[in-house]
């Protein structure tokens, strides 16, 4: 699968960030076509010390083609503009190919 | 679920890194008890420019308890020592709680 990853550093105002993220941003993201699965990650700590990121949100697509179609959609344009409005300075976006492996023992 | 995330920056010698990672490190990691699922991510690019990381490897556990038991295992100690031997300067480890959401349209 292909996934779009948003890594967030610690917001200056955590409460305002959480409010906007949960009530405005996620509903906009969920309208983007072609997203098969999302995974929301809250960092607890790092074995090396404080985690360098606050949270991560991953959006999974079936293929590069469906990812590219999603990026061109009007819904993505709106979600992207919203992202820049509240998280421009703390977000890192990356695109990746991803491979899952269920481990059975 | 709880996951342990290893984020890798670009290795100085990609080929040597890949050889060690694939043939030595992953077989050691797969012996750690309690891992339910792994996900291996290769970054392609960032919509913001070059991706700040080379790859990511995630290990999923059922609970904080099984994660903590895994961290105390002999298998984890061996895999951890191996990690430091070839990737000490480029790896960032983080622990997180994670929530998946299947999107059905």
What value does the mean pLDDT take over residues B29-46?
91
Q: In chain B, which ranges are E strands?
A: 2-8, 37-45, 55-61, 91-102
Give B-chain residues touching A41 at CB under 8 angstroms: 3, 5, 96-99
pLDDT at A104 exceeding the cut of 60: no
Q: Which residues of chain A does B46 touch, with a Cβ-Cβ cutoff of 8 Å?
A: 92-95
pLDDT at B91: 96
pTM of the model: 0.87
Range list of β-strands (E), A20-90 = 37-45, 55-61
Other Cβ atoms less than 10 A from the Cβ of B51: the count is 21
CB contact under 8 A, B96 and A46: no
- If one compares A6 and A48, the residue with the highest pLDDT of the two is A6
Res A73 pLDDT > 80: yes
Residue B69 has pLDDT above 60, yes or no: yes
Nearest CB among B35, B56, B101 relative to A103 is that of: B35
Distance from CA of B39 to the nearest CA of A (A): 4
| CB spacing of A96 vs B3 below 8 angstroms | no
How large is the ipTM? 0.81
Q: pLDDT, tens digit, for every residue of A12-38?
A: 999 999 999 999 999 999 999 999 999
Decide if A52 and B97 are in contact by the 8 Å CB cutoff.
Answer: no
What is the distance in angstroms between the Cα of B89 and the nearest Cα belonging to chain A?
12
In this complex, the residue of A48, A53, A103 whose CB is nearest that of residue B36 is A103
> Three-state DSSP class for A80?
helix
Q: Is the pLDDT of residue B99 over 80?
A: yes
Strands B37-45 and B55-61: antiparallel
Output the pLDDT for position B100: 83
Task: Output A51 or A1, whichever has higher pLDDT.
Answer: A1
Give the Cα separation of A42 and A53 in Å (integer): 9
By CA distance, what is B35's nearest residue in A?
Answer: A103
> Is B104's pLDDT higher than 70?
no
Contact A37 B98 (CB under 8 A): no
pLDDT of B101 reads 80
B44: nearest CB among A48, A71, A96: A96
pLDDT tens, B80-89? Answer: 999 999 999 9
Q: Give the pLDDT band (50/70/90) at residue B14.
A: very high
pLDDT in tens, A43-61: 987 667 778 899 999 999 9
Q: Is the alpha carbon torsion for B24, B93, B11, A40 positive or negative?
A: positive
Are A43 and B98 a contacting pair at CB < 8 A?
no
Residue contact A40–B99, C-beta within 8 A? yes
Mean pLDDT of chain A: 92
Instruction: Tell me: pLDDT of A9 over 80.
Output: yes
Q: What is the pLDDT of residue A52?
A: 86
């Amino acid at each position: 699968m292909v996934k779009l990853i948003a890594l967030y550093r610690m917001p200056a105002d955590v409460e305002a960030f959480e409010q906007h993220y949960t009530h405005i941003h996620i509903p906009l993201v969920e309208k983007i076509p072609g997203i098969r699965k999302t995974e929301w990650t809250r960092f607890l700590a790092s074995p090396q010390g404080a985690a360098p990121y606050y949270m991560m949100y991953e959006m999974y697509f079936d293929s590069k083609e469906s990812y590219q179609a999603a990026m061109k959609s009007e819904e993505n344009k709106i979600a992207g503009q919203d992202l820049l409005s509240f998280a421009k300075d703390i977000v890192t976006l990356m695109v990746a190919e991803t491979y899952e492996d269920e481990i059975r023992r």
